Amino acid sequence: MFGTVFKARESGIVLALVVLIVFTATQNSRFLSGQSIRDILLGTAILAVLAVGQAVVMITRNIDLSVGSVLGLSAFTVGSLLRDNQGLPVIVALLAGLGVGAVCGLLNGVLVRFGQVPALVVTLGTLYAYRGVIYFWAGGQQINADKLPGSFLSFGHDSIAGVPWLVLIAVIVLVVAGIVLRNYRAGRELYAMGSSPQAAELAGIKVGRNTIAAFLVSGGLAGLAGVLFAARFGTIDAAAGNGYELNVVAAAVVGGVAVFGGSGTVWGAGLGALLLTVIGSALAVLDINQFWQQAIVGALILLAIGADRLVAVRVQRALKKRDSHV
Amino acid sequence: MSKRLLAGAVSAALVLTLAACGGTTKNDASSSGGGGQSTAQANPDAPTKSGVKMAFLPKQLNNPYSDIEVSGGKAALDELKGEYKLVGPNDASASSQVSYINTLIQQQQDVIGIAANDPNAVCPSLNQARSAGIKVVAFDSDAAKDCRDVFINQASTEGIGQQLVKMASELAGGSGEIAILSATPNATNQNAWIDVMKQELAKPENAGLKLDKIAYGNDDDQKSFQEAQGLLQSFPNLKVIVSPTTVGIAATARYVSSSSYQGKVAVTGLGTPNQMREYVKDGTAKEFALWNPADIGYLAAYAGVALSSGQITGTQGQKFKAGKLGDYTIGANGEIVLGPPTVFDAKNIDQYNF
């Protein structure tokens, strides 16, 4: 039952994607040119990495609103690190970003776990707190492309075997998270916590520890996304990633990750990120007033939540029926 | 002793004025609005006062552009032996500057330099300041004209629109398709410049240029990337993208320089030398323009000190000296235009650092 439901949810997004791409391509064949596909995938990469982290947290019935600020903090840290140490290899930059994000995520997790405060409130607080740190530190500085080492900037748009580095990293993140959540005990525990925290606790799952771990993953991935952001845009100031959190939550929700936890996959979240990016590009190509973009994203979220509700009701009915047999 | 007496008298006067404000707002607005501009007589030969206390209140702190503007103000006040102060909100919302103005009144500043986030929201407070004898210089973004003494305009709307079309025409080789990538669809400055551009494009000498589309990147990197990409896909013959916003031009240049369009499509518009240096050198953006933001603050400080010294009062036709920038004349509605925008290219870009 669950398996087919999820499949149905994700195939819905795939269908929407196919329809959108085919329609746009018939209007303008350049939409399917190599350059265009590359741009869409590059744009998706950053959002997808964030959405995977968000999905992990949302599955445990929490939410991480601080990801935009964490991305900004990581991007600025890595940017100033590279500006001052031109010879630094890209891998060090990636690890530094990951580290900054992980520390922020750990703090979120600890506050949620030990403060016993809803994650919505904690991460709303840290959203502003982390942004405040960037403002305090960065002030009016801007790190520009001409101050960043060439190797780092080319990492932002170079490819290995035809696949851009950014996309490769996003795919690795997606596959690893997908497998862990699906096949490993640690992953299944997160779903159990999201379905019913009390039951999970009684079943001997270390709910507190897992919550911290989930925020750690989300923070770390937001930090990683910050490095990708810096490499792709090359211009970083204190406002980098401002407002990203809502796009990320939208991508996860559209991708079928339930806000109430316990269901959804990172594949869905990744597809949600792809769909949102394709919508953005398609509207620009189709010459549609961009005011529609927000309305369309909003409608998609409502549709996803509606589908969520429908599924929940059906599942409940199915479970009740089974109960009556027993 | 006499100083203390004076302070007492000033604060008593202040209390009285404030009380008057509280009583009848309507009366107060009309009396101070009219009074501020016409009562005092300008004396162009009055000595320049030293020790003038001028406070800068930019749109928001921590904004790279604002920081450069006020740095010019600081430099000018150092030259004039004045006292420089910087205060401001962290967000550029309409009401955020009001409490800062009230504080500056209490601190008895001589001049307030303000880049208004909203022309009307700051008006009542600015008029309170003016009735307390404080001169108000708006810069960068004007306050309503009956609540400030002068406005430092970075460049005339016409000047910028014409410059943008001129650069587009040069880069397109006199004819071809161009597109505009602006900030938000309702950005006042950008829309005014775009209107001038349209008028310029309608002129016979620009008949060869065709404006395909105006796209909006919302001053957001990602969104500007996507819009630039959309423009290039929708209009295969595009020769030039003009982006009259610093975020848009950097994002467009970065996108073009890392795509297969590099060398085929030129980027120009308004940007800062630091953010564009990389792309000027790799040929993506051969030339672009901007006024020097530091000069805005510099001119604002000179105007503020001239007001405070009684050399000008904000009436059209009055003249004053602004240090290294030379002589300025006040235009209609108390506007002082900084001058034509500076054009940056590979030859001169390394002389600028902002």
Asked if B70 reaches chain A (Cβ–Cβ under 8 Å), the answer is no
DSSP track, B284-319: SSSEEEE--HHHHHHHHHHHHHHHHTTS--S-TT-E
Nearest CB to B225 within list A28, A43, A141? A43
Helices (H) and strands (E) in chain A, counts: 13, 4
Q: Return the SS3 of B121.
A: coil
Average pLDDT over residues B236-256: 93
The Cα-based distances of A124 to A69, A102, A112 in angstroms read 10, 17, 12
Query: Over the stretch A216-263, which tens digit does the pLDDT of each residue have?
Result: 999 999 999 999 999 998 888 888 888 899 999 999 998 889 888 888
Task: Provide the b/e sequence for A21-38 (b: ≥16 CB within 10 Å).
Answer: beebbeebebbeeeebeb
Interface check for B188 against chain A (CB to CB < 8 A): the answer is no
Q: What does the alpha-carbon distance between residue B85 and residue B66 come to, in Å, rounded to a whole number?
A: 14
Nearest to B275 by CA among A134, A149, A148, A135: A148
Chain B interface, best mutation among A128, A144, A228, by max B CB count within 10 A: A144
Partner residue opposite A284 with nearest CB, options B65, B227, B258: B227
- The whole-angstrom distance between B317's CA and the closest CA on chain A is 37
Contacts with B216 from chain A: Cβ below 8 Å: 290
Chain B neighbors of A83, CB-CB under 8 A = none
Q: Give the A:B interface size as CB pairs under 8 Å.
A: 97
Closest-CA distance, B63 to chain A, in angstroms, reads 5
**By CA distance, what is B69's nearest residue in A?**
A140
Average pLDDT over residues A79-107: 95
Give the pLDDT confidence score for residue A286 in this predicted structure. 83
pLDDT tops 70 at residue A326: no
Residue carrying structure tokens 């369009």: B261
Q: Which residues of A touch B275 (CB under 8 A)?
A: 142, 144-145, 235
Question: How many other C-beta atoms are found inside a 10 Å radius of the C-beta of residue B352?
Answer: 15
User: Is residue A195 exposed (0-12), middle (13-18) or buried (19+ Cβ within 10 Å)?
Assistant: middle
Lowest mean pLDDT among A293-307, B91-105, B196-210, B268-282: A293-307
Do the bridges between strand A142-143 and strand A236-237 make them parallel or antiparallel, or are there none, so unpaired? antiparallel
- Summarised one tens digit per residue, pLDDT across range A148-194 is 998 998 898 888 888 999 999 999 999 999 999 999 999 999 999 99
Measured between CA atoms, how close is B178 to chain A, in angstroms? Answer: 15
The yes-or-no verdict on residue B20 having pLDDT over 50 is no
Q: What ipTM score was computed for the predicted complex, to two decimals?
A: 0.76
Residue A282: predicted pLDDT: 87
Distances (CA, A) of A277 to A274, A282, B227, B281: 5, 8, 12, 31
pLDDT in the model for residue A301: 78
Q: Do A146 and B274 make contact, defined as CB atoms within 8 angstroms?
A: yes
Averaged pLDDT, A72-89: 94
pLDDT of residue B32 exceeding 60, the answer is no
Which three-class secondary structure state does DSSP give residue A65?
A: coil
Q: Do B261 and A156 touch (CB under 8 A)?
A: no
Q: Is the per-residue pLDDT at B212 higher than 70?
A: yes
What three-state secondary structure class fits B72? helix
pLDDT of residue B5: 53
Confidence of residue A139 (pLDDT cuts 50, 70, 90): confident
pLDDT at B169 over 70: yes
Would you state the pLDDT for residue B10?
A: 52
B198 part of contact set with chain A, CB < 8 Å: no
Mutate to test the interface with B, among A133, A228, A276, A290 (most CBs of B within 10 A): A290
Summary mean pLDDT of chain B = 86
Inter-CA distances, A230 with A28, A53, A138, B165, Å? 31, 19, 15, 32
* The predicted structure's pLDDT at residue A16: 84
Mean pLDDT across A93-110: 96
Position B17 scores a pLDDT of 47
Reply yes or no on whether the pLDDT at B51 is more than 70: yes
Cβ atoms of B93 and B82 closer than 8 Å: no
Judged against a pLDDT cut of 80, whether residue B206 lies above it is answered with yes
Q: Which of A166, A228, A287, A289 to mutate to test the interface with B (most CBs of B within 10 A)?
A: A287
Contact B234 A290 (CB under 8 A): no
Give the pTM: 0.76
The answer to whether the CB atoms of A156 and B258 lie below 8 A apart is yes
- Provide the CA B131 distance to its chain's centre, in angstroms: 25
Contact present, A83 and A146 (Cβ < 8 Å): no
Quote the pLDDT of residue B11.
55
| Amino acid identity at B165 | V
Residue A324 pLDDT level (bands cut at 50, 70, 90): low
pLDDT of residue B9: 55
Alpha-carbon separation of residue A108 from A53, A105, A119, A324 (angstroms):
13, 5, 8, 43
Q: Is B69 on the interface with A (CB under 8 A)?
A: no
Q: What are A's interface residues with B at a Cβ cutoff of 8 A?
A: 28, 30-31, 33-36, 39, 43, 135, 138-142, 144-146, 156-157, 233-235, 237-238, 240, 280-281, 283-285, 287, 290-291
pLDDT tens digits, one per residue of B274-331: 889 989 999 999 999 998 888 999 999 999 999 999 999 999 999 999 998 999 999 9
Compute φ and ψ for B267, nearest 5 degrees. Answer: -120, 135
All residues at 6 or more sequence positions from B231 whose CB lies less than 8 Å from its CB, including other chains: A284, B179, B181, B212, B213, B215, B238, B241
Q: What is the mean pLDDT of chain A?
A: 89
Q: CA separation (Å) from A11 to A6, A249, A274, B178, B242?
A: 8, 20, 14, 41, 41
Q: Report DSSP state, residue A290.
A: T
Residue B266 bridge partners (DSSP): B240
